[in-house]
Amino acid sequence: MKLTAMSFNIRYDKPDPDERNWRVRREAVAALIAHYSPDIIGTQEARANQLLDLHRLLPEYQSLGSDRSGTGLDEHCGILYQPSRLKCLEIYEFWLSETPDIIGSITEAWGNPYPRMVTGAKFRTLEGQTLQFYNTHLDYYSDKAKDLGATGIQEHFCQLDLTKDYLFLTGDFNVNSQQLPRQILTQPLQSEIKLKDALADLELAEQMSFNNYTDNPYLAIDTIYYDSRLQLDWAKVDRSRWLNLIPSDHYPVIAAFTLP
């Protein structure tokens, strides 16, 4: 079984000027996704209207996940998937705080100005394999919130029964792979299972994903983590222009895997 995944911070819809405006670049985002036709995508920053636009432009995809504040108006850590290829079995969400079950919760002492959350779901492939796919967006401001957020994710993963399920995590982590939050996420889980960074074998320059709407990305903060029992076929950061536009202030990460 082959599986292609994508992690894509599509930049939240606000009154950005010219080519940065969502109404201008939404077709470019859709064209990029359609080109790779990933089975599953973790999106960061998308608001409800942006997800609706992607549904209209990419009707083969379904989406799941609520927004981070629980108001319906905020950013989502969304999961888009193709129901013709994957069947959704369960959906789960938690917040990166000392009260993870409380929607929109923030722990003031952590220092993050906005709620941070994780969206997850369990899927079955057409061939019968099951996978648990998670998506997150760590805080941009507080180092403490990044460290404790990654710890919360790792603790959640350590409680999962992964004997039959394969694990994935996509995200904008707001740190590079050498910094503590991402070091935490690659610690062993159970029975020698751990997450591996799909971009780890690329040169650092090829891992750069944050571009600030330029052709010269300078931060390697987005990636796809995958179950160490799987085979990574290829991985890349796509730096192409689509419809003559830079689709977002982050380039997407795409990776393909073989599931036993």
Residue 191's pLDDT band, with cuts at 50, 70 and 90, is: confident
CA separation for the pair 189, 160 (Å, rounded):
9
CB 252 within 8 A of CB 32: yes
Distances (CA, A) of 17 to 7, 20, 231, 241: 25, 6, 42, 18
CB 223 within 8 A of CB 30: no
User: Mean pLDDT, to the nearest integer, of 18-41?
Assistant: 99
CA separation for the pair 73, 76 (Å, rounded):
9
Residue 75: strand, helix, or coil: coil
Residue 233 CA, distance from chain mean position: 19
Residue 190's pLDDT band, with cuts at 50, 70 and 90, is: confident
Closest CA to 247 of 62, 81, 16, 69: 16
The DSSP code for 1 is: -
User: Mean pLDDT, to the nearest integer, of 40-58?
Assistant: 98
Mean pLDDT in the chain? 98
pLDDT in tens, 192-233: 899 999 999 999 999 999 999 999 999 999 999 999 999 999
Residue 116 CA, distance from chain mean position: 13
Residue 187's pLDDT band, with cuts at 50, 70 and 90, is: very high
pLDDT in tens, 109-164: 999 999 999 999 999 999 999 999 999 999 999 999 999 999 999 999 999 999 99
Q: Which residues is 134 bridged to in the sheet?
A: 120, 169
Q: Which domains does the chain have, with CATH numbers?
A: 2-258 (3.60.10.10)
